[in-house]
Structure 1
Amino acid sequence: MPVSTLLLVHEPEAICLKRLLAEGFDREHAAEISSYLAQSTDLAAEFDALSQACEAHGLAFHQVELDQAPAALAGQERQRTLVWTLTDGIAYFRGGAAPALARLNGLSVMGADDSLFALCQDKFRSGAVLGALGLPVPAAGLARNGEWLVGPPASSRGWFVKPNRLGAKIGIWPDSHCHDLGAALELSRRIFSAYRDDALVQPYVPGRNVRASFLGVNRQDGSEALGISFVDSGSDFQTMSDSLALYGETGEAAKMRGTYAEPELAAVLDTWPEADRKIRELAASMIRGLGLRDVFSLDLRVVDDNTVHLIEFEVCPGLPCFDFRAYCKSQWGLGLPEAMAKAAANRLTDVGSKAI
């Protein structure tokens, strides 16, 4: 019989879409924004498998929609309950409230504390903190609807422009790499018009795209358990349309049409071992200095001279995404439900024995 409980809190894609429409977003852009929550849609099909995997580890599993979280978390037994936030957000999405609700109820969480859930959702602020820690993050300017809030750094390679508080490649277009600041300001106007967001303007960083994924299946796991892979999509960077074709209802439609194509993953260690070493050292610094733990991901660009650029980090990575599934299989030899259940069970072993 299960003796402990895993509560997986998620914000459904459809509820977010309805709320955005009520706030006055047009349907096209509301659908783009809510697609960020496609992992909630995608993982729903595996809730039964996750429940079975949890039961095998002595856990009761309950999926909790975000709007029901205040009631669901209240009164839970502190020493036998773990809260795992599947979908985050502090602006367009609201899942960042879940770890704060857990703390309010004295419950342990899987992952970083709630302050990092807020920090990583604001690219400009998180970049400032990462830079202060001495990490190799590109400097950035910030624009709002065609006006500079913070002037951009000089760049001989042009600039890359993206929304400040949106993920999943939302608001990234084929011309997001621009070559003059007038174009950068025009992109900020487009971003503000479509998404009501500021625009981050960074010097363009060359190199290959790398994703570093982490799930601490065992309590002692550190940066050695990272899965570090090149993510090659056939283009310099992924756009919003590329991302939409991989997840949620759009991804399922692409599978039905036979047009679904995942980017290729290749272990960085196999060909660029020095870059792999630098990324592990970087991650260890973030674990020590920033407080990353349990589950997270890093997005990086790596140049062929082994120069590493940290683009952003996530404390609530897309677990059902192809790259995280591949990581669970290659690193742990487990499917996603089994890896999640084992990680949660081991995380609960020290609940109640010390402050979490």
Structure 2
Amino acid sequence: MSDRWVAVLSGGLSHERDVSLRSGRRLSAALRSAGLTVTELDADHELLHRLNVERPEAVLVALHGGEGENGAIQSILELLDIPYVGTDPRACRRAWDKPTAKAELARAGLTTPEWMVLPQSTFRELGAHPVLDSLVDKLGLPLMLKPVQGGSALGARVVRDPSELPSAMMGAFSYGDTVQVEKLVEGTEIAIGVLEDSDGPHALPAVRIEPSRGIFDYTARYTAGLTSYQAPAELPEDVARRASELAISAHRLLGLRDISRTDAIVDASGEVHFLEVNVSPGLTATSLLPMAIEADGRGLGEVFDGLVERAIERRS
């Protein structure tokens, strides 16, 4: 049990504000149950002043999307010289941009679905139909479209017929000016959490994801009953090992710290494909990381209490 005083940041102004608030409340309750004193703070115009005046011993970032994952809040915390749990700003930016992360991991030899990146300006300047026709010729069908930045599958959509592409592109563009178009790999979707301790990063048990509607979109993620989960995932031993190695490799290669979650898919041959990585995983009642922590025989408060100690030691 710890007697530390920490601040949990949640909320903010991203599209994922509601999810972030739920993550923040659950994390705060878990930390209090572990004996910590917790101040809950929204990421608003008063945040900088409050942190500078109150000076908690450490900060935990439960922000999703935007400032919580692109390194902005982490940069502020470093300016204020306040210890915080999680990845540093530069590595946050690498992980936040999905094509940047995929390219870096592909160069290192990790398997990831083939992809292309298309800014909205390309459609305006070259015409939507010629671009979309060329896209299908290059990558084939089906495809997964998603904004290059952001989380919770907002703006993401599977396209199985060319007629669906224009509306799918517009839906993705509503969450950002650039879209990643990825060859869809059919198979078993899994998430693998990674936690660090004094011995380095360790993979948590993989969580298997089975959405009832076929796609793990925003509604399927945060509506109880629409998705079934299996933690730990029932996978062949060699597949489970490769999934763990993939997640640890992604964590290390991107320079992540303390905690991360890698999303992947296992195809029919047992190949594990990297999809994306998250430096601020959700902590709601239907989120994947808490399931993995529980499957590992630990509690949320216990794990984050340990991460708080690591953050404080880094600044001492």
TM-score normalized by the length of structure 2? 0.82
Residue 341 of structure 1: which of 305, 310, 315 is its match? 305
**Aligned counterparts of 1:94 and 1:293: Cα–Cα separation in 2:** 13
**Aligned counterparts of 1:262 and 1:156: Cα–Cα separation in 2:** 28
Residue identity opposite 1:326 in structure 2: M
Partner of 1:117: 92
Offset, 1:272: 1.6
Partner of 1:83: 59
Residue identity opposite 1:243 in structure 2: R
**Aligned counterparts of 1:156 and 1:191: Cα–Cα separation in 2:** 19
* Cα 1:84/1:298, change in 2 over 3 Å: same
Residue identity opposite 2:49 in structure 1: A
Partner of 2:187: 207
Contact 1:122 1:164 in 2 (8 A): yes
Partner of 1:222: 201
**Aligned counterparts of 2:28 and 2:64: Cα–Cα separation in 1:** 22
* Cα 1:191/1:49, change in 2 over 3 Å: closer
Contact 1:213 1:226 in 2 (8 A): yes
* Cα 1:44/1:307, change in 2 over 3 Å: closer
Contact 2:95 2:254 in 1 (8 A): no
Which stretch shows the higher mean deviation, 308-317 or 284-293? 284-293
1:184 and 2:159 matched = no
- Sequence identity of aligned pairs in percent? 19
Contact 2:188 2:208 in 1 (8 A): yes
Contact 2:155 2:172 in 1 (8 A): yes
Contact 2:142 2:183 in 1 (8 A): yes
Deviations 1:116-155 (A, max 9, x none): 3223332223222222232212232123444559x75833
**Aligned counterparts of 1:166 and 1:48: Cα–Cα separation in 2:** 24
Offset, 1:314: 0.1
TM-score normalized by the length of structure 1? 0.73
**Aligned counterparts of 2:26 and 2:231: Cα–Cα separation in 1:** 26
Q: CA RMSD for the aligned pairs?
A: 3.1
1:231 and 2:209 matched = yes
Partner of 2:43: 66
Which stretch shows the higher mean deviation, 123-132 or 298-307? 123-132
The unaligned stretches of length 5 or more in structure 2 are none
Offset, 1:109: 2.2
**Aligned counterparts of 2:312 and 2:69: Cα–Cα separation in 1:** 29
Offset, 1:157: 4.0
* Cα 1:164/1:215, change in 2 over 3 Å: same
**Aligned counterparts of 1:205 and 1:294: Cα–Cα separation in 2:** 29
**Aligned counterparts of 2:182 and 2:314: Cα–Cα separation in 1:** 41
Residue 107 of structure 1: which of 82, 88, 101 is its match? 82
**Aligned counterparts of 2:81 and 2:217: Cα–Cα separation in 1:** 40
Residue 249 of structure 2: which of 266, 278, 285 is its match? 285
The unaligned stretches of length 5 or more in structure 1 are 17-32, 247-259
Partner of 1:166: 150
